[in-house]
Amino acid sequence: MVVVVVGGVAAAPLVLLISLCDCLSPRPLYTNHWAVRIPSGGGGEADRLAAKYGFVNLGQIGSLKDHYHFHHSKTFKRSTVYSRGIHAFIHLDSKVEWVEQQVIKRRVKRHAKKNFSLHFTDPEWSSMWYIHCEEKNKCRSEMNVLGAWQKGYTGRNVVVTILDDGIERMHPDLMQNYDPLASYDVNGNDDDPTPRYDVSNENKHGTRCAGEVAAIANNSHCAVGIAYNANIGGIRMLDGYVTDITEAQSLSIRPNHIDIYSASWGPDDDGKTVDGPGALTRQALERGIRTGRNGLGSIFIWASGNGGRRGDHCSCDGYTNSIYTISISSATEKGNKPWYLEECASTLATTYSSGEYYDRKIVTTDLRQGCTDGHTGTSVSAPMMAGCIALVLEANPLLTWRDVQHILVKTARPVHLKAPDWKVNAAGHKVSHLYGFGLVDAEAMVIEAENWRTVPTHHVCRKTSNRQVRFIRPNQLLRVVIST
């Protein structure tokens, strides 16, 4: 209440009712980034001070001399209170002139907002049933790729490479997004991953996978990639003898440039092969998750396998059941199990693909600057997931390899996927050996990524057994009990 004095006489009390929302600004949202001014010593001194107080120096801020961008990975990415701890004492250091923890600022573009356009000039856009549905009663689109696009995520500045038989880098639907630094010809030991052409078009696989990820949008050619602004590369490594060196070299090419490696291959899916990475390839995978993406960890995505009709089991595939890879399954448009599908506990999630000959398949780029509507198998699912994860990494480039797996598990949904083995696990998630945790939801993933709190680093517990090695005879039943 305010008393107004008029001419020395107290007037009637004037009550001012002020809305809290009018006088109080929103609480600041603090990040784990700091701006620091260090007037002498240059970048070397900035690095030293960053390390002393637990920060990482991300470099000079633009052209502002003596101003450095510090990042602290052990504090909250988003918080309504400023950060406290030993690192906060940096402002008392005599070498530091000024420090400021960064807060998120709301900025609105000053133009008339337009509705997100669903119009694409690509001639096969109308056939891409797995991305959009114009007739709701005739198709499904629960992967919610459009929802991620509507939030502005199209894979920009994310680098994906396809480990396969090469990619047609001059394809009109790939050329604009082609990244030579994400490419190599391991078979030919040169920098050109262009496939070897023959009359059978045998080496079409990699080009088809690449189009799923990053086919250019609105260029009046073929289709639209899930991450149509991502950088796409190819490692030509399947058109020749494949050795442990071949695989290890392919999985470790420029790991600080390439974000996502997509592999739609593995051991023979004949139902009688147990195989996996050799010693060098295991090292490449382990090194990738430890040091790739500048310490955040490379993302390795693997197709779960096409040996279902032969009784093959993806648990016998050491690539898909590695903890360092994301193993991806397939489902038909109607949510049925495809005839080729393998099942195992290592499958993490599912994308759409095809099933019987009458089911609709996937549209993508093809050899000789072509386009196909016949792409199929779990080969479809790995690059489709790579595209979705490219959207996620654009939403939050600081996600670790484990963050990506956690986000995928948290957001995947069973929806209409038909399986007899859906169960709720101890963490409360529905899970199936056919489909993992369910169908990928690209929109839900990018929403989670925007405000994700980094999960703890990978921790390994080892215990040796004093039991002797025993041979397993054919048709013998083996029972193993592990106490934890």
Residues with a known catalytic role: 164, 205, 379
Q: What angle do CA 294, 80, 297 make, to 5 degrees?
A: 15
Q: Quick one: 219 exposed, middle or buried, by C-beta within 10 A (0-12, 13-18, 19+)?
A: middle
Given the DSSP bridges, would you call strands 231-236 and 159-164 parallel, antiparallel or unpaired? Answer: parallel
CB 349 within 8 Å of CB 320: no
Sign of torsion over alpha carbons 334, 448, 289, 284: positive
Cα distance between residue 191 and residue 186, in whole Å:
8
Cα distance between residue 244 and residue 74, in whole Å:
37
Tell me which residue of 458, 456, 139, 445 sits closest to 322, measured CA to CA: 458
Tabulate helix, strand, coil % of the chain (nearest 5): 25, 20, 55
3-state secondary structure of 310: helix
CB 278 within 8 Å of CB 244: yes
CB 407 within 8 Å of CB 445: yes
Neighbours of 91 (CB within 10 A): 15
What is residue 260's DSSP assignment? E
Cα distance between residue 67 and residue 292, in whole Å:
28
